[in-house]
């Protein structure tokens, strides 16, 4: 059964790989056998992580990518494919930012930054990956959305709207790309302890959040591994357009 999740011989591209879920997932994909490219704005931070992965015997590379600068997206994927000497099979479309503020106080510039990064940026990264995969009639794209795109969360109007957009985009991409051999699914983390999540901790939200999570715990990045490996591997060969929450049951608590 382990062979079902084996990624040997595959190449993975992870955006937003300098911290949190992206960094952790890059390592997990490498452990599962994939050659990985870590892509993020903070490329200096990536070099030390890549060094660590290579030392452990994995194939890893780092490339600069700013998803709000479209010209860097194709460049980064070209570079990844030339360094690894093979096309990208798995795209973990993960780069994202958070903005938590009451709706009436959200600032236009910040709203634009959220949409540019979480929706337009994710769209363009997915589009570039999809073009390459469709040409080969093979590939898996994992869009990292959020349960905030599935339920209404206070202070998360622009963020939640960006993630709801990404979920809808996932379904349309899946519909258009299924017959071209490309699978597209959305991973929807709930509350996962990362740098991004610190915003909630700093605002003193953690206690009230815990009350709304049936499992009464903030998730750890490792707890996304099962869903990620499922979507990345041939174990999900008949899955496309799926939207998978990993949230300790939080989506249930408002029903």
Residue that has been written with the tokens 């794209």 in this structure: 141
Q: How many C-beta atoms surround the C-beta of residue 115 within 10 A?
A: 16
Q: Using CA atoms, how far apart are residues 253 and 31, in angstroms rounded to an integer?
A: 35
Which residue, 52 or 137, has its beta carbon nearer to ligand NAI?
A: 52
Least distance in Å: CB of 6 to ligand NAI? Answer: 25
Which residue, 137 or 203, has its beta carbon nearer to ligand NAI?
A: 203
Which residue, 68 or 83, has its beta carbon nearer to ligand NAI?
A: 68
User: For residue 81, what are its two tokens?
Assistant: 């494919």
Q: Using CA atoms, how far apart are residues 51 and 54, in angstroms rounded to an integer?
A: 5
CB 78 within 8 A of CB 89: no
Long-range (24+ apart) CB contacts under 8 A made by 175-179 are 175/241, 177/130, 177/133, 177/134, 177/240, 178/240, 178/241
Least distance in Å: CB of 29 to ligand NAI? Answer: 15
Calculate the alpha carbon distances from 141 to 57, 80, 87, 129, 241 in Å. 25, 16, 13, 8, 10
Least distance in Å: CB of 113 to ligand NAI? Answer: 9
Least distance in Å: CB of 180 to ligand NAI? Answer: 25
Considering 58, 99, 159, 238, which one is annotated as catalytic?
159
Which residue, 115 or 134, has its beta carbon nearer to ligand NAI?
A: 115
Active site residue 159: yes
- What residues line the site for ligand NAI (CB under 6 A)? 15-16, 18-22, 40-42, 65-68, 94-97, 117, 121, 144, 146, 189, 191-192, 194-197
Catalytic residues: 159
């Amino acid at each position: 059964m382990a062979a079902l999740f084996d990624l040997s011989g595959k190449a993975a591209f992870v955006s937003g790989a300098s911290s949190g879920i992206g960094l952790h997932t890059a390592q997990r994909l490498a452990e599962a056998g994939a050659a990985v490219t870590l892509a993020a704005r903070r490329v200096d931070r990536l070099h030390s992580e890549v060094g660590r992965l290579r030392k452990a015997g994995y194939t890893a590379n780092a490339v600069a990518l700013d998803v709000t600068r479209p010209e860097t997206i194709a460049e980064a994927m070209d570079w990844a494919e030339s360094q690894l000497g093979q096309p990208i099979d798995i795209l973990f479309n993960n780069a994202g930012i958070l903005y938590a503020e009451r709706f009436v106080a959200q600032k236009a510039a910040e709203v634009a930054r959220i949409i540019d990064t979480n929706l337009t940026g994710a769209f363009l990264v997915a589009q570039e990956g999809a073009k390459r995969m469709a040409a080969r009639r093979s590939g898996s794209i994992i869009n990292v959305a959020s349960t905030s795109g599935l339920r209404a969360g206070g202070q998360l109007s622009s963020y939640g709207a960006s993630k709801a957009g990404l979920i809808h985009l996932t379904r349309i991409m899946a519909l258009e790309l299924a017959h071209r051999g490309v699978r597209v699914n959305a991973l929807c983390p709930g509350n996962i302890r990362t740098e991004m999540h610190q915003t909630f901790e700093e605002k003193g939200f953690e206690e009230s959040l815990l009350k709304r999570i049936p499992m009464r715990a903030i998730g750890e990045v490792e707890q996304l591994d099962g869903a990620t490996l499922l979507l990345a591997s041939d174990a999900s060969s008949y899955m496309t357009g799926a939207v998978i929450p990993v949230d300790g049951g939080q989506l249930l608590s408002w029903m």
